[in-house]
Amino acid sequence: MTEADYPTIKGVNSRIAVWLVAQLHLWFGAFVVAVPMFVFIIEAIGMATRDERYDNMAYEFIKVSITAYSLTALLGGLLSFSLVLFYPDLFKYLSMIFKDSMFAYALLFFAESAALYIYYYGWHWLQGGNKKWVHLTFGLLLNAVGCLLMFLANSWTTFMMSPAAVDAAGVFNGNTWAAIHNFLWNPLNIHRVVANVAYGGSVVGAYAAFKFLSAKNKEERAHYDWMGFNANFIAISALLPLPFAGYYLTAELYAYSQQMGITLMGGVFAWLFIIQAVLIGALFLSANYYLWCGMGRSEGAYRYNPRIKYIAIVIVVAFLVWFTPHTLVLTNAELKSLGGPYHQYLGVLGIMPAKNTAVNFLLAFTFLSFMYYRRANKIATVSWATTGNAIQIALFAAGLLNIVILGVYHGYFTNTVYKVAASIPQVLTTLVIIVASTVIDAFMYKGAKEVAPMRWGRMPDRSQYALFLLAVSFTWLMGLMGYVRSGIRQHWHVSGIFRDSSPDAFTPGLGYAANIVSIGTILFMAMVIFVFWLSTISGRHAVVKGYWKEQA
């Protein structure tokens, strides 16, 4: 193929057009796939506790996603058009291999829309008794179809990275399932499901913050404060396993191709990972800050305030380790002084074992913030409260020690197989800390004495900006890392098989790529604010006297 095989439209850069449309489609897609997941869970919690507030909140969440749903479909359509227009040969090749799944994909949209509309419009109709169960089943169906849709689209994307069922010349052997089930498909599926929930949580958190800041009265503030808290809780819960899903994807990528792995983490794209590190740090910092501010809702939390600074110190230190690059940006004078691009002492913090250790600390201490928040307005009355606390402290201490030992020993004194593998017991340790502490807490605080009431709505405005920061950081992060994932194919449409011969086959500079992603982020946030605004006008009724003819 030559440049002549790529149609152009005057004044439109094909790559930027497809890039932005695909990214916007993915952001909205991630949001609308994620929201029904936690709406389903919240609805189920409401059914189990018979607390109507949960049901109302679930409904409000799904309401926000309805407008986003049509935007997703519009952008998806625009993306298909853009691909057909600007990259017809690639599209033809992909659709030749994936024709069955593409057709199924299109048909599944009918099922998705039907399930979504019944779920949303039938919300107040399907209430109580068996009807509620029927409604919940529609929620489950909606999620099943949503995930299936995403998995199908993921298979096309990962095929372009790790093609399967084709020979070296790209000739398809006819095995559709093998093409779908290519090497990176499941690692990406896992990563995207978890990330979507975190992302969806952060976007509805921004919605709650938007409504909180524009609330007219105390009740509204209280309602949206509670909603923001829950959204943040969802985002953080999904954020906890996310680093491991990402690490798994990357490890598989390295296993698939050393070339891709090095391009990603050690080569041209490595600097974007430094930005990623900064944004992930921003996520953890803002999530923690929101929790700490939330302790102001109850006077009972004052006793925990002096401890926050220690959590902050650990989080900041862990974050500095997480952020430290292996190859440093140096001036010539610094390079001469250090004797090379690696730092003798800080260099060890630059590779993954140090990062994994740091991120486990970040997670454990973010969870600690949450535990303090949960205990804010209560005092445990069970006789074994002191023992319970001691067990929890021992659990944290032993777990953190184990994480450090695993990270230092396997990270620096064994070979790569063990180095990569050690991340799994590290994660499991963190999960054990989290799960065991939650179980102990649940029993210890059963029937606990309330020292002061929770005053929902008593939150400073600045805490709401932490929620906004969470959503913006997530969006930006997804855009940058999505670019990296796609960019490591370099000058290939389909890695090693289908060469990109367009004028845009080159890998753009980092600054250029970051600018495009930032423009995308701004466009997306503008569209999201439009969606939020729509949800506020739908509730308004203007009564204009004398406009309509009086009916006899």
Which parts of this chain interact with another protein (CB under 8 A)? 255, 257-260, 262-263, 266-268, 270-271, 278, 281, 285, 288-289, 292-293, 295-296, 305, 308-309, 312-313, 315-316, 319-320, 323-348, 350-351, 412, 414-417, 460, 462, 490-491, 496, 507, 510
| Spatial CA neighbour of 276 closest among 28, 485, 126 | 485
- CB closer to another protein out of 64 and 466: 466
At which residue do the structure tokens 């430290």 appear?
324
We find the least distance from the C-beta atom of residue 508 to another protein, in angstroms, to be 11
- CB closer to another protein out of 237 and 259: 259
Q: What token pair was written down for 428?
A: 């499991």
Contact between residue 293 and residue 455 where contact means Cβ atoms under 8 Å apart: no
We find the least distance from the C-beta atom of residue 547 to another protein, in angstroms, to be 47
- CB closer to another protein out of 135 and 493: 493
Q: What token pair was written down for 43?
A: 């609805």
We find the least distance from the C-beta atom of residue 104 to another protein, in angstroms, to be 33
Residue 203 parent element (H or E): helix 185-213
- CB closer to another protein out of 191 and 343: 343
- CB closer to another protein out of 241 and 281: 281
- CB closer to another protein out of 151 and 492: 492
We find the least distance from the C-beta atom of residue 332 to another protein, in angstroms, to be 5
List Cβ neighbours of 485 (8 Å cut-off, separation of 6 or more). Answer: 161
We find the least distance from the C-beta atom of residue 160 to another protein, in angstroms, to be 16
We find the least distance from the C-beta atom of residue 70 to another protein, in angstroms, to be 38
- CB closer to another protein out of 34 and 422: 422
For helices 218-239 and 270-294, angle between their N-to-C axes, nearest 10 degrees: 140
List Cβ neighbours of 418 (8 Å cut-off, separation of 6 or more). Answer: 410
What SS3 class is residue 379? strand
C-alpha dihedral, 452 to 457 to 458 to 461, nearest 10°: 160
We find the least distance from the C-beta atom of residue 486 to another protein, in angstroms, to be 15
Rounded CA separation 86/7 (Å): 5
Contact between residue 184 and residue 160 where contact means Cβ atoms under 8 Å apart: no
- CB closer to another protein out of 211 and 489: 489
Contact between residue 341 and residue 395 where contact means Cβ atoms under 8 Å apart: no
List Cβ neighbours of 49 (8 Å cut-off, separation of 6 or more). Answer: none
- CB closer to another protein out of 275 and 428: 275
We find the least distance from the C-beta atom of residue 483 to another protein, in angstroms, to be 15
We find the least distance from the C-beta atom of residue 266 to another protein, in angstroms, to be 3
We find the least distance from the C-beta atom of residue 428 to another protein, in angstroms, to be 19
Give φ, ψ of 493 to 5 degrees.
-75, -50
* Burial grade of 170 (CB within 10 A; 0-12, 13-18, 19 or more): middle
We find the least distance from the C-beta atom of residue 87 to another protein, in angstroms, to be 21
Q: SS in 3 state form for 478-525?
A: HHHHHHHHHHCCCCEEECCCEECCCCCCCCCCHHHHHHHHHHHHHHHH
- CB closer to another protein out of 268 and 424: 268
- CB closer to another protein out of 405 and 436: 405
C-alpha dihedral, 113 to 119 to 122 to 125, nearest 10°: 170
H helices present in 214-326, as ranges: 218-239, 242-256, 258-265, 270-294, 305-323
- CB closer to another protein out of 77 and 460: 460
Rounded CA separation 537/531 (Å): 10
What SS3 class is residue 166? strand
Contact between residue 205 and residue 290 where contact means Cβ atoms under 8 Å apart: no
- CB closer to another protein out of 88 and 266: 266
Q: Which amino acid makes up residue 216?
A: K
We find the least distance from the C-beta atom of residue 268 to another protein, in angstroms, to be 5
List Cβ neighbours of 233 (8 Å cut-off, separation of 6 or more). Answer: 201
We find the least distance from the C-beta atom of residue 289 to another protein, in angstroms, to be 5
C-alpha dihedral sign at 256, 257, 258, 262: negative
Rounded CA separation 298/449 (Å): 14
